[in-house]
């Protein structure tokens, strides 16, 4: 396949380009500003500000068989709410519409676990149950989370708008090697560790999920939201103890002994054959 990758020079983007290339796919690396060819086999560089230039996005996608849509502002920290929300909602819409209008049926979108309301929330966090699956209630109270919730809604609409289109919305957690996330969680316990439910995901695991989402798009049957999170937390403390201490009103629905993660990933395994086997 020829795969367009937006946000290709980001943390996930760079890894996704390598993973796609290693699997024998051609790639089109799309970034907001120009960049020199990086030497990746069967890859070309294109420029498109996806959030603000729809026509350039269409041009960048032409000739592609699939899209891995990663381009977005990665968090709301230090940025005006209107800018974060509008940029990210425009980016998702333009990417979905451009793909649909060109007849591209295989689309992977980088959503976020924040779509349920998480680290950046402006109100106290509330969860109905642990571990959190893809059907859990969404309560966004910040610009980033709201934009991700709206992007998922867009995706559900676009698969109706363009029949035959399949979109995987990957709810990705904090993308970094385990030791880096552990360090952040130690240094910012309440704001980062507790409010992010001690989660993490390895960049390689996200890149593999992104590729699987377009390779196995026919399994989606339209739009599917999938948790892409490591199966373990960053902590040695048993997860059921953390849950009871910090979220005592939340129902624990299944075994959370040891350092089991606070998110379910069975759906991604069932539809894509994806598992997070990276340990670090």
Asked if residue 277 belongs to a domain, the reply is: no
Asked if residue 95 belongs to a domain, the reply is: yes
With tokens 């209107």, the residue in question is 82
Mean of the per-residue pLDDT values of the chain: 97
- How confident is the model over 74-98, as a mean pLDDT? 97
What is the crossing angle of helices 54-61 and 81-101, to 10°? Answer: 40
The DSSP H or E segment spanning 227 is strand 223-228
Structure tokens, 229: 């999170």
Asked if residue 215 belongs to a domain, the reply is: yes
pLDDT-above-70 percentage for the chain? 100
Q: What is the per-residue pLDDT across 138-194, written as a single tens digit (0 to 9) for each?
A: 999 999 999 999 999 999 999 999 999 999 999 999 999 999 999 999 999 999 999
Asked if residue 10 belongs to a domain, the reply is: yes
Asked if residue 216 belongs to a domain, the reply is: yes
**CATH code of 224's domain:** 3.40.50.720
- pLDDT in the model for residue 217: 98
Enumerate residues 6+ apart whose C-beta is below 8 A from 195.
Answer: 118, 119, 121, 125
Residue 232 DSSP symbol: B
pTM for the predicted model, two decimal places? 0.97
Asked if residue 29 belongs to a domain, the reply is: yes
Structure tokens, 45: 């560089």
Q: Cβ–Cβ contacts within 10 Å for residue 257, how many?
A: 10
Q: What is the per-residue pLDDT across 239-257, written as a single tens digit (0 to 9) for each?
A: 999 999 999 999 999 999 9
Distance, first Cα to last Cα, the chain: 30
- How confident is the model over 29-58, as a mean pLDDT? 97
Domain assignment of residue 116, given as a range: 2-272
Total structural domains within the chain: 1
Asked if residue 279 belongs to a domain, the reply is: no
- pLDDT in the model for residue 18: 98
The DSSP H or E segment spanning 158 is helix 143-161
- pLDDT in the model for residue 221: 98
């Amino acid at each position: 396949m020829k795969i367009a990758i937006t946000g290709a020079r980001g943390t996930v983007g760079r890894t996704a380009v390598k993973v796609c290339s290693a699997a024998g796919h051609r790639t089109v690396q799309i970034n907001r500003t120009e960049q020199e060819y990086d030497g990746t086999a069967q890859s070309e560089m294109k420029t498109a500000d996806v959030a603000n230039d729809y026509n350039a996005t269409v041009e960048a996608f032409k000739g592609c068989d699939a899209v891995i849509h990663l381009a977005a502002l990665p968090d709301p920290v230090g940025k005006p709410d209107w800018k974060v929300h509008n940029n990210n909602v425009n980016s998702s819409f333009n990417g979905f519409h451009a793909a649909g209008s060109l007849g591209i049926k295989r689309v992977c979108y980088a959503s976020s676990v924040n779509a349920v309301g998480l680290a950046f929330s402006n109100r106290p966090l509330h969860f109905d149950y642990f571990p959190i699956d893809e059907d859990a209630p969404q309560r966004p109270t910040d610009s980033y989370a709201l934009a991700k919730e709206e992007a998922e809604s867009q995706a559900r609409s676009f698969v109706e708008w363009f029949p035959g289109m399949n979109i995987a919305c990957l709810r990705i957690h904090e993308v970094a090697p385990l030791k880096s996330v552990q360090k952040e969680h130690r240094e910012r316990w309440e704001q980062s560790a507790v409010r992010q439910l001690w989660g993490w995901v390895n960049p390689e695991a996200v890149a593999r999920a992104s590729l699987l989402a377009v390779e196995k798009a026919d399994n989606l049957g339209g739009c599917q939201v999938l948790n892409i999170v490591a199966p373990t937390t960053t902590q040695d403390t048993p997860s059921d103890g953390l849950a009871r201490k910090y979220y005592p009103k939340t129902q624990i629905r299944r075994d959370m002994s040891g350092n089991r993660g606070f998110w379910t990933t069975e759906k991604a395994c069932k539809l894509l054959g994806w598992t997070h086997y990276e340990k670090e």
